[in-house]
Structure formats: C-alpha cells, structure tokens
Amino acid sequence: METAINIPKYDLNEEDEKKEILRHYRGLLRVLKLKLKPGDKQLLRTAFEMAAKAHETMRRKSGEPYILHPIAVAKICVEEIGLGIRSTICALLHDTVEDTDISLEDIQREFGIEVTKIVDGLTKINTVMDTNSTQQAENFKKILLTLTDDPRVILIKLADRLHNMRTLESMKREKQLKISSETIFVYAPLAHRMGLYNIKTEMEDLAMKYMEPDTYRYIAQKLSDTKRERTKYINDFIRPLKEKLDKAEFEFDIYGRPKSIHSIWNKMKKKGVSFEEVYDLFAIRILVNASLEKEKEDCWKVYSIITDEYNPSPERLRDWLSNPKSNGYEALHTTVMGPHGKWVEVQIRTKRMNEIAEKGLAAHWKYKEGKEDESRFDKWFHQIREALTNPDENSIDFLQDFKTSFLAEEIYVYTPKGEVKMLPIGASALDFAFGVHTAIGSKCIGAKVNHKLVPISYKLRSGDQIEIITSAKQKPNIEWLNFVVTSKAKSKIKDTLKEEKRKIADEGKYTLQRKLEGIGASMSYSNLEELSNFYKTGSSLDLLYDIAVKKIDLKELKEFTVHGDKLIAPKPVKLTPEDKSDKEQFVKHYDKKDAELIIFGESSDKIQYALANCCKPIPGDDVFGFVTTGEGLKIHRTNCPNAARLLANYGHRVVKTKWAKNKEISFLTGLKIIGLDDVGVIHKITNLISGELKFNISAMTIEAKEGIFEGNVKIFVRDKEELDELVERLVSMSGIERVDRYDTE
C-alpha cells in the first residue's frame, strides 16, 4: 500500500487521463488473455470500475491518478508471478477497503468469500504500516499468519511492494530510505523464499539505488562500459557448446544473463575485490526441453557436454536436482574455466524448472508432481505456524529470528537413518536436536557429525550426517541462545529458561509476602505493579526473581506509605540542575564551531549528536540521524551494516540529516593499503599523505610478507571529498594494488 494524497492533476487533461487509464487496463487484459474463462471479463470489469470509482479523487505522489497503481500491481501478479483471475481482482481492490468508502461486505456481495478473505488479509497488513517498531514487527507476524492461510496474500503484497519500489522516485528522501530498508530487510528475502528470484533481484537493486546511489551508479556505468566485450565473450563461450548440444539432438535455449548490481556489489565487499576482479558478472543459462521422467538424466548429460569442453571447478558444483531447495528451486550449477582464463558460471535447468525458478510458488502449485515436492512449502508453512503460536515472543526478536530461521538459504543434513532434514545456513547441532524433538534438544549434550564427536555449538554443513547425544541431567541455559538460529530452538530454550525463572521467583514471592504483611499491605496485582515501577524491573516476574536472587533487598519498603492495604511509593527526589535528564542533555545547544550537521525538523537550534561507532561517518557521507534510548542522536551512514535494520524497524526514530560545510573540524578515518613491497614505496605513501596533501597521520602500521605489504593508516580528514582525492592519488601510484576505507576503532 502507498500513501495517497489529493494534489492537483498532472499534465494530462481529464479526457486524456481517462484514455490513459483505459490503455493501462487493456494492457492488463492482454496479459490475462490465455487465463480468461467465460464470465471472467465481466468480473474483472466490475472490479476495475469499482476501484476506479473509489480512487477517482486520489493521486499518487507523482501526480498521476491513483488507480494506475492497483492496475500495475495486478499486471505484476499476472505477468511476473503467474497468478490468475481471482488474484487480479484482489490486486485491483487491494487498497479500497483501507483508503475508500468500500467495505468488505461490498466486496463479498460482488465477488464472494474467497476474494474478500484475500482483500481482508491485504488490508490487515496495511493498517499498521508506518507505525512504531513493535507494531511494524507485529504487522509482519500478521503477514505471515495470512501467508499460511492463503499464500496469494503475500504474493500480491510482494507485487504491491515491487511497484512502489519502481515508482519511488517521487517520494521524499527519508521515505525512500525507509521503504528501501524495509524492502531489503524483509520483502526481498521473502520474495527469495517464495522462489521469486527475478523480483528479489529487482527489489535489491532498486533498494541499493536509493540507499547507496554512488556505488549503484558506479557499477551500472561499469556494466554499461563493458557490455560490448562481455557480449563478444559470451558468444565465443556459447558457440562450441551450441554445436555439441545440437549434435546430441537436444532441444534447448542457451544465453548469457547479467548478474544484478546488488549481487556484484556483495561479491566486491565479501571478497574485497574491485569491479574488474569480479569474475561472474554474468551466468550462462541452458534451458533443456525434456520430458518429466528424463529431466534429471538430460540435465546431467548437458553437464557432461559442458565439462568435456571446459574444465569445471570441483568445489563449485551445486546439485539442486537431487535435493531441490525448499522453495522448489531445481537446477544444476557449475563454474568452468572459459576462454582467456576466466571462470564462468553455468546454470542447467529444464523448461519446467525454469518456470518454477521464475514464478516461484505460483508455478510450483501448477506442477504438483510427487508428494515430496508438494510438501516442501507445506512443511515450511507448518514451521512458521508453529513459531507464530508462541505468545511470549517479543515482536522485534521474532522478526530477527524469522530472518535467520525462515528466510536464509538452506543446507541439508542427514539423520543416522539417512533421512534428509533441511536447516537454515548457520544452524548448529543444537538446532538439529530441537528440530528432531523439543525433549531431545533440551537434553542434548553433544553430537556426532560424520561419526566424529562435536560440541552442541558445532555449525553444520550440507551433507553432514548427525547423531545427537543426550543426558537426563542436561537442561538448557542462557548461553544456548548464542548458537542457535532456528525459531523453534530459540523459543523452546526461552520457554524453559522462563519456567526456571518462575520456580526461582516463587521463593521471592514468599519473601515479599512476609515483608508486605509486616507493613500491613497485601500481595495484590496493583502493589506488585507499584513495586515493579519503583525498582524499574520489566515485570512482576522480574521483580520476584530479583528478590529471590537477592538483587533487590526491599530495604526501601519502609519509605512506602500504606492506604488500606495499598502501597504508595515515595515521591522521587527533585533533580538538581547538575542532574539534568538525558532529554535535556540531548537538546543542549552546540557551540557554533561544532555544528557541522544540519538536522531537519528540530527547530533551528543545533542538537547534540554523536557519530555512530559501527560506521564512523565523515562529512560528505550519505547519513541519517537515529534517536537512541538514553544516548541521544546517533549519526549513521546509510550503508552502515546496521542501517537496514534500524530504518526498517524503527522508522519513526529516524531524523533527516545532512552535512553543512565546515572546514574547521577533522575526523579520524582509516585506510588499508595493499601493494608490492618495493624499495621506497612506504616513503612515497607518507610523502603523499603528509607532505603533498598535508593530512595529519594519527597512526600507521606496515606489514610486509613475501613481497606483499599491507599498510593501515589512521588519518584526520575534513570530509569525504578529501578522502576520495587521497584514495584516487594512492591508487594511481605504481605498485599500489588496492586502497580500502575502514572504520577506525
């Protein structure tokens, strides 16, 4: 859903506008052509007219008629996700109940219960968007509950989010950051999990375009500059394979497919390489036309033909034919040594597998072959339902757990009897134990992986065979939460720890009861609340637990007054001027010389802030302010490792900020320099930094090993412009291989 506002009409007059809307609607009908059954066209027309009438006075931020948004969402549902008529109707109506006078009863009267349920699900998702963090995570729980009820809700929601990302241009900068972060944090991984790879990729690229515009433009430009030579290379690579596949009488398509900007950037960061050093800027895809019973056989035959022509890298073979991913993805991936000594990734699939890879869940249901395949999504939904039924789970924790537990890539491991179990990447032996049964997880003391003894924290890898060792004396402890990633393991450990806490808290209960009776007060709910507030414990359970473990000794009880049997806490002591609250310190005026950030929406006074340690921003970096609890305003870079989480979960605490020009203040930053250990190279570096550019060096360490040196220099710079100039000058020096910025301690 997107915010709708009434603003003046854009360029087109009313008549042309109507024609424009009809043109978009006819475009939707064209993509639906093959799916239309008798009567469907009339139903669609009714839905379209209903939505157009309801939204007729509404405009998008760009000024265009709002109805173009639901039409576009419906088109994505059909064309890119492969949904049918019912979903198209729901997509056309997805914002009507929330934003207009149309009610669920009106929709049920026209379209029946099935469509109404889906629209209701979409409305519930939207109603708590753009609120505070806990509600946002609560909202995500609602999305998932609806997903397990009818997955079409989430598929339409993904289409809605994709269209909003495609039209984010007209939004304000802070809104762009918030929506992009939310997309990268939740919606792109969810699209991936639904098997919608194209949508996931586009969402990641669009989010990067707004969150890291400079890097996005840099890689896009590089891809554009190298397109011609890449096309030539792909053609040279494909030519001999085409001949061999034709000779073997395969019916196939073969083509090169560019990798996404986001995935190229991830490779550059992960491997610490430049754009030129990323070998897989594209992948070769081979689609084989094979009958169902010969699919596997034909894919392996194609693999054999490829590896006859080009040498494969043995550790880069991915066999998702024998063990499809739990989102239904099937394929063979291999990386081979192509012409001119370049590694090339080759993906082999059949036409059926390709449709599942492109359309994910919707296509998966179209081909219901074999119980095992059919149950993969069902198993996943069952696990989500199980996780959602835990009423004590904090929503923000749940969102984080969900990402690691349900949206991560999977590994497959084997039980001692050879059964396959799917687990998220990063799962430990303890996750596996809880996956088998809660009782086994709770009593787990170790495991045997591939017949070797390992600790319960051991991180599992695909193909491991695992046997759990238990002991009746074992019980979960708080440390366990550090090395489990699955939602089931986390919630069961937390439940057990809470139960233990309750037992200990019972002892505190008797202590408190005696003390209260001594002063004539009762053990009532309101008295427990009063004491919890006074001692600043999160809950009455925490209060009783702290009393039991002697963290609270109740000596302050004598300062309380008792009315009837009701406790009244003593009045807090008035603060002296020196004891000003965090809030007052937070808005302390800054000396003019220090005010190098402009903070919007906070009056013209300068507000105290601190630069976040996780990303160490310097002037010129793209930044945002974040109101922390107790520590005032922290400034983060938009590409900070924590940015996506903060912007997606705590959007209401984000403050728009930008740098003001100020040349009087210097900021400490670090550079890592790698190059050839040549005579005089260190002198050249220090001469450039201190001599020519006159930067103040705070610290410098150089390590040389086997002809390569690695230098770490901490320097004071005034802004990003100065830093970029220094990096450019260093890289252009002979013998310097690469220069990277890092965040100083």
Give the catalytic positions in this structure.
Answer: 98-99
CA distances from residue 538 to 236, 393, 530 in whole angstroms, order as listed: 66, 15, 12
Supply angle C-alpha 700, 706, 707, rounded to 5. Answer: 70
What does the DSSP assignment read for 313-344?
-GGG-EETTTS--TT----EEEEEEEGGGEEE
The torsion angles phi and psi of 465, rounded to 5 degrees, stand at -105, 130
Q: How far apart are CA 718 and CA 530, in angstroms?
A: 52
Rounded to the nearest 10 degrees, what angle do helices 152-166 and 113-127 cross at? 50
- H runs (alpha helix) in 112-172: 113-127, 133-149, 152-166
Type and span of the H or E element at 470:
strand 466-470
HSE at residue 733, side-chain half, CA atoms within 13 A, is 24
Supply angle C-alpha 670, 674, 677, rounded to 5. Answer: 130
Task: Read off the DSSP letter of residue 65.
Answer: B
Q: How far apart are CA 12 and CA 412, in angstroms?
A: 56
Q: What is the 3-state secondary structure (H, E, C) of 382-432?
A: HHHHHHHCCCCCCHHHHHHHHHHHHCCCEEEEECCCCCEEEEECCCEHHHH
CB 703 within 8 A of CB 710: yes
HSE at residue 309, side-chain half, CA atoms within 13 A, is 20
Nearest to 624 by CA among 210, 137, 138, 270: 210
Q: How far apart are CA 181 and CA 162, in angstroms?
A: 13
CA distances from residue 567 to 230, 543, 548 in whole angstroms, order as listed: 78, 15, 21
Q: How far apart are CA 346 and CA 603, in angstroms?
A: 57
- Residue carrying structure tokens 């800027």: 281
For residue 378, count other CB atoms closer than 10 A to its CB. Answer: 10
Nearest to 80 by CA among 169, 161, 150, 1: 161
Q: How far apart are CA 254 and CA 248, in angstroms?
A: 15
The single-letter code of the amino acid at 538 is G
Nearest to 285 by CA among 249, 253, 322, 247: 253
Type and span of the H or E element at 211:
helix 197-211
Tokens of 413: 């491991």
Nearest to 115 by CA among 155, 152, 163: 152
**For residues 598, 601, 607 and 611, what is the CA-based torsion angle, rounded to 10 degrees?**
-60
The torsion angles phi and psi of 251, rounded to 5 degrees, stand at -100, 115
The torsion angles phi and psi of 632, rounded to 5 degrees, stand at 70, -150
The single-letter code of the amino acid at 441 is G
CB 91 within 8 A of CB 156: yes
CA distances from residue 689 to 18, 160, 671, 725, 741 in whole angstroms, order as listed: 63, 50, 11, 11, 15
Pairing of β 342-350 and β 282-288: parallel
Which residues pair with residue 708 across a beta bridge? 676, 705
